[in-house]
Amino acid sequence: MPPTQTDPLIVAPNLKRRLSGVTATVVRLIPVQARMIDIRATGPGLPADIPHIPLWRAATLPRDRWRVWHARRNTEMALGLILRRLLRRRYRLLFTSAAQRKHTGFTRWLIRQQDALIATSPQAASYLERPATVILHGVDTDVFHPAPDRAALRARLGLDPDAVLIGCFGRIRAQKGVDLLVQAGLDLLPTRPRAQIVFTGRITPDNRAFADDLQARIKAVGLEHRIRFLGELPWEQVIAHYQALDLFAAPARWEGFGLTPLEAAACAVPTVAARVGAYEALIRDGQTGSLVPKDDAPALTAALARWLDDDAGRAAAGQAARAHVAANHAIEAEAQAITAVYRSLL
């Protein structure tokens, strides 16, 4: 079968329909990488403008050359093995891991079958039991940037133009420390009438009781109009909500990498985050935000209070955060480093 315009050198599968951190990584990286190498995504749930081939096509690409299958999930590693061993496709297998925990036996077996590994942090690399190239995530500063008119943006989003707005984005669950931020809000908001908190993210059935309990606590003290759960939003709306914020909170109890503080920083928004994942590498404590011990509600509350009560300091930290991301965590550097791994496999 002769090559066609849809025969890429690199295939990046995304075998999950709903928005997740991994899906967000694929969505933001592929357009940048496509300027460097012939790459396509495959799988459901991706925006129409992402370079893409159907999954059936990825499974039937001609055997005229080696290509790279770049997996980020167990299911994608397993499918890559099926394509190479059963369907005899000429795929080099690459896996990127963000997990900072001991892998299951099955995952370790899958990892051993890969031709190369990438880890998103040194901590993640330490759990792989094999050499890996460490490449920190970056953020597209052309996509994530300060709003030219934040008041107009807030009006369009239905947000209070005069509020000091704290955001926390991701699934609503205990792992993300959502309850810690709610408790901080219950402690802080009664004495700070401008402060508000918005959460975005899906509530899965197994976390419905957790979310309902938090909302009942909020309503019991009459703060339901100032601490709001907006649900799962389209990607473009998530970006717009970053741009509308004054302060971001990432109080997770556990995190693989944690991209949200970088996305906030690119929008000139400082972050208060727990010392988990890669947050210590992303946030300059006291300059672009604050770092607090994980699972420490009083420390989180104190750090939020500091930034809520200092409008000028908060604005200066946001500008410093934007500059820090542009200098150290631009997505182009991440894309170039990953592309170098592709070329080494090809």
| Pair (205, 312) in one structural domain | yes
∠ CA 147-148-152, nearest 5°, is 80
Average confidence (pLDDT) over 297-309? 97
Report the C-alpha gap between 221 and 199 in whole angstroms. Answer: 18
For residues 92 and 220, membership in a common domain is answered with no
Same domain? For 202 and 111 the reply is no
Alpha-carbon span 80 to 95, nearest angstrom: 10
Domain residue limits at 172: 150-328
Answer whether residue 4 is part of any domain.
no
**Which whole number is the average pLDDT over 148-160?**
95
Query: What percent of the chain lies above the pLDDT cut of 70?
Result: 98
Which tokens hold the place of 230? 């907006």
Candidates 343, 345, 341; CA nearest to 120 is 341
Residue 3 has pLDDT above 60, yes or no: no
Residue 70 resides in a domain? yes
DSSP state of 142: T
pLDDT at 1: 36
pLDDT, averaged across the chain: 93
Q: For helices 21-33 and 331-345, what crossing angle results, to 10°?
A: 80
Place 6 in a pLDDT band, splitting at 50, 70 and 90.
low
pLDDT above 70 for 261 = yes
* Whether residue 94 sits in one domain with residue 182: no
Statement to judge: residues 97 and 179 lie in one domain = no
Q: Say what the pLDDT of residue 280 is.
A: 87
Task: Classify residue 1: in a domain, yes or no.
Answer: no
Q: How many CB atoms lie within 10 A of CB 45?
A: 14
**pLDDT reported for residue 2:** 37
Q: Average of pLDDT values for 51-75?
A: 95
Q: Is 336 found in the same domain as 288?
A: no
CA distance 41 to 55: 9
Please identify which residue in the block is written with the tokens 């394509």: 83
Inside any domain, residue 143: no
303 and 250 share one domain: yes
pLDDT at 70 over 90: yes
Q: Domain check: are 61 and 178 in the same one? A: no
198/316 same-domain check: yes
Q: Is 144 part of any domain?
A: no
In a domain, 5, yes or no: no
Task: Kindly indicate the confidence band of residue 311, based on its pLDDT and cuts at 50, 70 and 90.
Answer: very high
pLDDT digits (tens, 9 = 90+) for 202-247: 999 999 999 999 999 999 999 999 999 999 998 899 999 999 999 9
- 335 and 286 part of one domain: no
CATH number for the domain that contains residue 112: 3.40.50.2000
Are the CB atoms for 321 and 265 separated by under 8 Å? yes
| pLDDT of 128 above 70 | yes
Give the whole-angstrom CA distance, residue 81 versus residue 86: 8
**Highest mean pLDDT (candidates 29-33, 40-44, 47-51, 185-189):** 185-189
Evaluated on CA atoms 119, 323, 246, 143, the torsion sign reads: negative
CB count, 10 Å around CB of 142?
11
Within 188-330, strands assigned E span: 195-200, 227-229, 247-250, 271-274, 289-292
**Do 188 and 246 fall within a single domain?**
yes
The domain total for the chain is 2
Closest to 299 in 3D by CA, of 162, 152, 187: 187
- Residues in CB range of 311: below 8 A, 6 or more apart: 164
- The 10s digit of each residue's pLDDT in 74-87 is 999 999 999 999 99
Based on the domain organization, do 25 and 100 belong to the same domain? yes
The pLDDT > 90 percentage for the chain reads: 81
pLDDT confidence bin for 19, thresholds 50/70/90: low
Q: Give domain status of residue 2, yes or no.
A: no
Q: Is 334:140 a contact under the CB 8 Å cutoff?
A: no
pLDDT digits (tens, 9 = 90+) for 162-173: 999 999 999 999
Give 264-275 pLDDT, tens digit per residue. 999 999 999 999
Average pLDDT for residues 102-119, to the nearest whole number? 96
| CA–CA gap between residue 320 and residue 269 (Å, rounded) | 9
Mean pLDDT to the nearest integer, 14-22 = 77
